[in-house]
Every structure is written in structure tokens, then in C-alpha cells.
Amino acid sequence: MMRAGQVRTDIVLLGGGHAHVHVLKAFAMKPEAGVRLTLVTRDLETPYSGMLPGVIAGLYAEREAHIDLLRLSAVTGTRLIHAEAIGIDRGQKRVLLAGRPPIAYDLLSIDVGITPALAHIEGAAEHGIAVKPIGSFLGKFAALRARCRMPDGPRRIAVIGGGAGGVELILSVRSHLLADARVEGRETAFSFALVTDGEILATHDPKVRDSFRRALAHRGIELHERQPVQAVMPGAILLKDEQTVKADAVLVTTGAAAPPWFRSTGLALDPDGFLAVGPSLQTLNDPDVFAAGDCATLVETPREKAGVFAVRAGPPLARNLRRLVRSEPLGPWRPQRRHLALISTGERYAVASRGAFKTEGAWVWRWKDWIDRRWMRMYQDTNAMLARMPKPRPAPDAEEQMRCGGCAAKIGPLPLSQALSKLPPPIVDGVLVGLETPDDAAILQPPTSGYLVQTVDFFRAFVDDPFVFGEIAANHALNDVFAMGGVPRHALATAVIPIGPAAKVEEALFQLLSGVRACLDREHVALVGGHSSEGMDLSLGLSVTGEVASDHILRKGGLGVGDALILTRPLGTGILFAAAMRGLAAAASVDDALAEMRRSNRQAAEILRGHGATAMTDVSGFGLIGHLGEMLTASGAEAELDLSSVPVYAGALAKARDGVASTLLAENLAQLPLLRGEIDTATKAVLFDPQTSGGLLAGIPAEAAGECVAALRSARHAHVAIIGRIGKLGVGKAGASVRVGGTFSTSGV
Ligand SMILES: Cc1cc2nc3c(=O)[nH]c(=O)nc-3n(C[C@H](O)[C@H](O)[C@H](O)COP(=O)(O)OP(=O)(O)OC[C@H]3O[C@@H](n4cnc5c(N)ncnc54)[C@H](O)[C@@H]3O)c2cc1C
């Protein structure tokens, strides 16, 4: 997570491939002063190629063969940016990202693998299934299995490509499809075929080829060697000699290309468009850009594109990045010409091949399994990693400790104006003086009718990515206005940026404000000014001004007897991000929560009000019970909650059971006397968990509640639920209470 301190060199790692996971770990084990690592990745879980055939065969669960990059980043202190790279602006030293502003680098390393390219076989793109890159194949294979379950689903399965990947694939696919059919009591009348233009396993010894020919024949898999493919057609593969191989599903392992955006980078490429690198892994024409894995070609010692070489590139890549930071001479990497390949037969049996050496057996599979699991443990066992990491982290340097306070802690005029100048033109509705003509203060037009609504929020970053933090913090700040029935119009931002060189401060401010603007622009709210200061931790506050019509005002008080209590979003952000900070949260849970937290509550507030909301609030720092308690106190009411209807983010309850909690929980529990009913510690932790960008909680007259929930669901508030009702009124402030029954059911969230 975010650490204060001076960042002097930003190393950006593009792609969470096999080489880069090693770099993260190497720098965590031996931190380099002043160096910050940022991992930019399109996928939060990256597959390990060695275990993939085992996943396809059903011998491993997907989770066993994937590295959770969110957890790895958290424990290694790496800044994670979940985004897809679409280009590089080498002049500005920035990586261009899809759907968000570019990010700056001092040194860049690229390990993004390959992209599918089926154009080399006519009809393959329309009628075939691309197997590479491996990351996206598992989803396609799951879809194929589902289709095979249908009575009229595919029965004739073929693979094009006779390399180790293709051979293992047909064997593994066969194993899994037959096992599915057996388990479900279906007929197993499948047929399988492997088509390749040369011999199978061309780079291996003839003994290995013969072994696999026998293995294929033994399993009834048709083998078509020396049969170049002309086209893939619906229901068949057309060979060059005009013969056909009948096939309802065709998996193509042969086509793989470099990402097309490499061409616009101006980096040296090989004839196939892959990044051309020298022995130091630096690209040939830019020493600040490195590349490794399938996306790179070592021009002096070219090797096949295989996970084994991507793995082996990790240590020399980490060493050379470190040496470049230290201005030391870089060392060459000359990968072995031959490597031991352990190729499985789709069951717990494998063949070992290295040059003329070949052996096989169930024991070879166990050996492979041991090697693969040991490698995975290095990146999955975060506790072991933490235990081996040096502690404590370096203290702030002398200059940092002696920075001035007061107005002298303001961010200098140059980084501030540079960061602001890179933002899109500001929204100017109702703004007389704002950021487009900055002055001492903003001057705004008051609403022509109704009232002003004002609110302020401020907190420290809970994610490392300043853009995402800015977007969520802005969303969070707007919630108070929505909860009052208002419409936000203008905002002022207070930003605290970790101390560092001017260029790093400017970049952090730019990313943060870009996130703020991404949210505010969507909501048509003008950012009219603010204040920025340096400090230890990235923090952001927003003061939002809105307007509200007098007949739209919604307060915390006003609940009626029988009102349904509607909550629009799950609970558990405090727990999940406390877990994420310690490397304990699963990437998928955190990603789902972030997606929800980035969404606006505007439409939900309108729907709730339109269905006669009697009172409304947003669930934030005090947790569900803290905020519901405020509503009950203001209304003099008692509520009954049905825990089985309360939505909770996936993983949050499990983490609460493991004892993970937000640091604010202990203070929130001061409201415990509000509760009536027996609940366990984990349930309490969820009910009092502080929420960032939480849902709206409203009282809706019972007769309108069903329709209101349906309207919210059709507005894509998938987790909305009636979580309870108001039982009694007139109990006075002291009598406010919440009776809880049932237990959480987290399914479906
Ligand atoms: C079925 C099959 C079986 C295989 N079995 C083996 C085997 O047993 N042994 C072996 O050595 N090799 C095997 N391979 C080959 C192996 O999978 C690849 O060589 C290996 O995955 C390459 O690793 P990499 O690090 O270059 O890239 P990848 O493993 O593909 O990692 C690339 C990463 O970059 C991310 N990324 C991609 N594009 C972007 C972007 N634009 N922006 C941000 N992030 C991005 C991806 O999300 C991914 O995390 C197999 C391949 C297949 C298809």
C-alpha cells in the first residue's frame, strides 16, 4: 500500500507475466532506496503456464494455477494499477492506458505476452477458438464444456498445432470432457483429432514423438501429421490436400502475434513485430525500456516462446533494472539452448524430454507437480514472503523529516499549475470565477430556487492507485448531497501528496485530480478550486456544494411505522481493504467492491425519493448500525433487521471471521447498545464496518417497497435489498434500537 517517502525512480512493469512476478519479489526482498515499483496489469490474476494443461485436464483448480497480483503487490509494497496499456509515449516517458490518463515512468519493462492471431488460417477467426494467450483460454474452455453438455452440443473436437502446447491440450481437453460426461451420466461419444503441418513435437527427440504418438493412438485421438490446414469451416477443417477433418469445435494453438500497439511505440521490433531486445533485456533502441517473456525476442539468442523462458528471464531482468538505477554496468543473459520439458498426457502421467534424454511415468508427473507447486508457492504464499522480507522499512530521510509546515507545506506553484494544465477543460456551469481563471476563491451563482446543500469529507488513501482513489473519494463525497435529496453542483478539493521531487508530486497530483474529475465530470459537477499540501500519506478531501428543492429535502428523521429499510450496496469495504493492505484479500473480491464503489448513487437516490422515501442517509464511516442508529434516534423509532437479506461483499464475512477488521471498528462498536439480539463477533464486525463510498439507506413506505427495489434492480443496482422494517415509533431518542435476526447469506454478492 501507499508509503510516504521520496520516490526518485519510478519503475513501471507493464503486464503481470512470469518474469515480472519475480521482479516484484526481488525488489521486495532487497528494496532499492528511492525506487517505486508500479505494476500495470489488465488481469488481476495471472496464470502459470506450467500448470495450465493440468487445469484444463481438471487436475488443478484454477485458483491453484493463478497468481493473485493484488495480493502479491500488497505484500511486496508494489503500486498496482489495474488497467490495460494501449501504447507508450516515449517522448514524455508515459504509458498510455485505456479509459484513464497515462502514467509516467523513469524505467519501463514490458512482459505482456502475446495476442491471438488467427488470420493465418482462413475462417479460423470466425469458426475456431484461439488458445493463446493462455489467460483468456480458460473462460473459452469453460464455455466449450457448457456447450458439450447440451444434447446437440459439439462432439467432434480438434486441435490445430502439434507443438508441446497442442499435444498437451488435446490430451487434457479429452480427459476433462470425458470426465464431465462420466460424472453427469451422459454418453461419451466424443471424437478427438490433432492436426499439424509437420511432425508433432518437432523440437523434441524422436523417442518423445513416438511416445506421444502411442499415447494419442491409445486414447483414440486421430493424428494428422504433415497436414497443413487451409481453412476452418463450420463443422470441418479443410486441409491443403482438399481432404477434411470433421470437427464441431476447433482449438487453434498456432496463431500468436505481438500486441499491435507495439508498432506505434517506435521501439525496435523483430520481423514479426515482437520487441527486439539485446542480452541485457533492454530494447535495442531505448535503454530505458526493457522487455521479457513471449512479447520479446532476444535477437542474439532467439528461443521459442515458452513460459519456461519467461520464468528464467525474471532474475536477469530484476538484476539489470537494479543495476541501471544504480548506474552500474548491466550483465548479459544467455538462456540455455536446451531445457527440460515435462509434458503431461492429460492424466497424472508425464514424459520428460531434454535433448536425447527421455523418460516417462506417473512419477514424472509427480515430479512436475512438485516443481510447479514449489514455483507457485513462491508467489502465492504471502506469509512466507513477508517472513523473509527485511524489516523495518527505511525511515524517511533527513530532508523529509525537516520539511516545513504551515503554508510552507503547500505544493509549489509549478507542479500544481502543471498538473492542473493537463486536466480536461473545467465545467463552468454556474461558475463566475473558478479554475479556468484561478483567484483567491471561487465565485458561484446561487440556485434560483430552493436551498444550498454543503458537505465535506476527507480521508487517507486506501488503495495505491491515485486515480482510483480520487474517483472513489469524489463519489463518496457526493453521496452526502444525494442522501439529502440534493443535486451536487460544485466541489473544492483538498489534496495531500506524499513528499517527493517536484516531478513525482506533480504526477501524483495529476493522477489524483484526474480520478476526481472522472467522477465529477460524469456527474456534471464543476471542480472550482482547492488546496494542495505535501504530507506523509496520499489523502484527499472534497467539499461539495449542491442545491435542493424544498420539497425534495430528505432528513435522517421521518421514518414511519412499517417502512421498509432499503440498502443499495453491500457492506464490508472496511474489512476488505484492511485485508487487502495485509495481502490477505482475493483480487476478485476487491475488484468487485471497487467496481461498486466507483458507481454513482445519483440514480438510486432519485428512485428512492420517487418511491416516497421518508428518510435517507448514506452508509459511511460509522457502519450500517451507526448510521441506522442516527436515523432511528432522529425518528424516535425501533427497527428490525433480517440479516439474511443484508448484502455483504464476497469475502468480507470470511475475512471478518479470520479476525480482519478496520481500525475504526473498535470506536464504532461504542454504538453496540443499540442492538437487541445475539450476534457473533464477525457479524458485529460487518454491521459496524466503516464504509467508503457505501450505499444509500432509506425508509420506504411498505406498499411502495417492492416496486422501488425492482426499479433499483433495473437501474443495475444488483445488490439492493430490503434489509428490515421499522417496528415502532415514538420511543424517544433513548429508546431507539435495532432488533437483529437471522444470519448473513452472502451468496449472489
Ligand atoms: C495451452 C497452453 C499450454 C502451455 N503450456 C506450457 C508449459 O507447460 N510450459 C511452458 O513453458 N509454456 C507453456 N505454454 C506457453 C506459455 O503459456 C507462455 O509462453 C507464457 O505464458 C508466456 O509468459 P509471459 O510472461 O510472456 O506472458 P503471460 O503469461 O501471457 O503474461 C502476460 C501478462 O500481461 C498482462 N497483459 C497483457 N496485455 C496487457 C496490456 N496491454 N496491459 C497490461 N497488462 C497486460 C496479462 O494480463 C498477463 O498477466 C503454454 C501455452 C498454452 C497456450
CA neighbor of 33 nearest in space, from 508, 314, 396: 396
What percent of the chain stands above pLDDT 70? 96
156 confidence band (pLDDT: 50, 70, 90): very high
**Is 155:191 a contact under the CB 8 Å cutoff?**
yes
pLDDT tens per residue, range 252-290: 998 679 999 999 999 999 999 999 999 999 999 999 999
Identity of the residue numbered 385: M
The minimum-distance atom of ligand 1 relative to the CA of 56 is 1
The minimum-distance atom of ligand 1 relative to the CA of 49 is 17
Give the model's pLDDT for residue 427: 84
707 confidence band (pLDDT: 50, 70, 90): very high
Cell of 675: 442492538
Q: What is the CA(257)–ligand 1 centre distance, in A?
A: 12
Q: Can you tell me whether residue 544 is helix, strand or coil?
A: strand
- Phi, psi for 145 (deg, rounded to 5): -60, -40
4 confidence band (pLDDT: 50, 70, 90): very low
The answer to whether residue 3 scores a pLDDT higher than 80 is no
Q: What is the CA(675)–ligand 1 centre distance, in A?
A: 52
Q: What is the CA(179)–ligand 1 centre distance, in A?
A: 27
More confident residue, 404 or 44: 44
Q: b/e per residue, 195-234, with b = 16+ CB within 10 A?
A: bbbeebbeebeeebbebbbebbeebebbbbeebebbbbee
Identity of the residue numbered 116: P
Q: Whose CA is nearest to atom 45 of ligand 1?
A: 15
Q: What is the CA(48)–ligand 1 centre distance, in A?
A: 8
Give the model's pLDDT for residue 338: 83
Q: Whose CA is nearest to atom 49 of ligand 1?
A: 16
Mean of pLDDT values over 23-39: 96
Q: b/e per residue, 728-747, with b = 16+ CB within 10 A?
A: ebebeeeebbbebeeebebe
> Alpha carbon of 149 to those of 143, 153, 252: distances in Å?
10, 6, 21
5 confidence band (pLDDT: 50, 70, 90): low
CATH 3.40.50.720 matches 406-550: no
Q: What is the CA(49)–ligand 1 centre distance, in A?
A: 6
At 492, which helix (H) or strand (E)?
strand 487-498
Mention every residue, 6+ apart, whose C-beta is less than 8 A from residue 670.
Answer: none
Q: Whose CA is nearest to atom 7 of ligand 1?
A: 50
Ramachandran category for residue 612: left, alpha or beta (phi over 0 → left; psi -120 to 50 → alpha) = left
Mean of pLDDT values over 333-353: 93
The minimum-distance atom of ligand 1 relative to the CA of 253 is 53
The minimum-distance atom of ligand 1 relative to the CA of 53 is 3
The minimum-distance atom of ligand 1 relative to the CA of 135 is 30
Q: Can you tell me whether residue 582 is helix, strand or coil?
A: coil
199 DSSP 8-state letter: -
Q: What is the CA(377)–ligand 1 centre distance, in A?
A: 18
- Starting at the edge strand found earlier in the chain, the sheet holding 637-642 runs 615-618, 696-700, 564-567, 721-729, 637-642, 737-741, 675-676
Q: How many residues does the chain have?
A: 749
- Which of 24, 73, 96, 134 to mutate to test ligand 1, by most ligand atoms within 8 A of the CB atom? 134
More confident residue, 481 or 337: 481
Mean of pLDDT values over 733-742: 87
The Cα 28–Cα 82 span in angstroms is 20
- Which of 12, 45, 49, 96 to mutate to test ligand 1, by most ligand atoms within 8 A of the CB atom? 49
Concatenate the DSSP letters of all residues of 246-307 into one string: E-SEEEE-S-EE--GGGGGGT--B-TTSPEEE-TTSEETTEEEEEE-GGGEEESSS-----H
**Is 638:736 a contact under the CB 8 Å cutoff?**
yes
The minimum-distance atom of ligand 1 relative to the CA of 132 is 53
- Starting at the edge strand found earlier in the chain, the sheet holding 191-195 runs 128-130, 249-252, 156-160, 191-195, 221-224
More confident residue, 406 or 423: 423
Q: Whose CA is nearest to atom 51 of ligand 1?
A: 165
> In this predicted structure, which of 134-148, 151-165, 535-549, 727-741 has the lowest mean pLDDT?
727-741
Mean of pLDDT values over 370-379: 96
Q: What is the CA(671)–ligand 1 centre distance, in A?
A: 51
The answer to whether residue 187 scores a pLDDT higher than 90 is no
Cell of 19: 518474469
Q: Which residues are catalytic?
A: 407
Q: Whose CA is nearest to atom 4 of ligand 1?
A: 165
> In this predicted structure, which of 202-206, 395-399, 483-487, 651-655 has the lowest mean pLDDT?
395-399
* Mean pLDDT over the full length of the chain: 92
CATH class of this structure's domain 9-42+83-114+258-339: alpha beta
Give the model's pLDDT for residue 414: 78
CATH 3.50.50.60 matches 116-243+340-389: yes
CATH 1.10.10.10 matches 554-741: no
The minimum-distance atom of ligand 1 relative to the CA of 112 is 34
pLDDT tens per residue, range 622-667: 999 999 999 999 999 999 999 999 999 999 999 999 999 999 999 9
Q: In whole angstroms, how large is the CA radius of gyration of the chain?
A: 29
Q: What is the CA(553)–ligand 1 centre distance, in A?
A: 54
Q: What is the CA(138)–ligand 1 centre distance, in A?
A: 12
Mean of pLDDT values over 491-518: 94
The span from the first CA to the last CA of the chain, in angstroms, equals: 26
401 confidence band (pLDDT: 50, 70, 90): low
CA neighbor of 50 nearest in space, from 374, 385, 383: 374
Q: What is the CA(352)–ligand 1 centre distance, in A?
A: 22
The minimum-distance atom of ligand 1 relative to the CA of 40 is 43
731 confidence band (pLDDT: 50, 70, 90): confident
pLDDT tens per residue, range 566-621: 999 999 999 999 999 999 999 999 999 999 999 999 999 999 999 999 999 999 99
429 confidence band (pLDDT: 50, 70, 90): confident
- Which of 22, 112, 281, 372 to mutate to test ligand 1, by most ligand atoms within 8 A of the CB atom? 112
Q: Whose CA is nearest to atom 25 of ligand 1?
A: 17
Residues with CB under 6 A from ligand 1: 14-19, 40-43, 46, 49-50, 52-53, 84-85, 111-113, 131-135, 165, 168-169, 253, 293-295, 305-308, 310
The minimum-distance atom of ligand 1 relative to the CA of 97 is 42
Q: Whose CA is nearest to atom 41 of ligand 1?
A: 85
Beta strand segments in 549-609, E: 564-567
The answer to whether residue 393 scores a pLDDT higher than 60 is no
Q: What is the CA(198)–ligand 1 centre distance, in A?
A: 24
The Cα 571–Cα 692 span in angstroms is 10
Q: Whose CA is nearest to atom 17 of ligand 1?
A: 49
Domain boundaries, given as residue ranges, for the chain: 9-42+83-114+258-339, 116-243+340-389, 406-550, 554-741
Give the model's pLDDT for residue 136: 82
The Cα 578–Cα 688 span in angstroms is 14
What percent of the chain stands above pLDDT 90? 81
Burial class (CB in 10 A: 0-12, 13-18, 19+), 714: exposed
- Phi, psi for 614 (deg, rounded to 5): -95, -25
749 confidence band (pLDDT: 50, 70, 90): very low
The Cα 344–Cα 352 span in angstroms is 9
Beta bridge partners of 275: 269, 296
Q: Whose CA is nearest to atom 23 of ligand 1?
A: 307
Give the model's pLDDT for residue 637: 93
What global pTM score does this model have? 0.91
Give the model's pLDDT for residue 400: 53
* Matching fold, domains 9-42+83-114+258-339 and 554-741: no
The Cα 708–Cα 714 span in angstroms is 10
Q: Can you tell me whether residue 548 is helix, strand or coil?
A: strand
The answer to whether residue 344 scores a pLDDT higher than 80 is yes
Burial class (CB in 10 A: 0-12, 13-18, 19+), 42: middle
Q: What is the CA(51)–ligand 1 centre distance, in A?
A: 12
The CA-based angle 733-737-739, given to 5 degrees, is 165
Mean of pLDDT values over 171-191: 91
Q: Whose CA is nearest to atom 10 of ligand 1?
A: 307
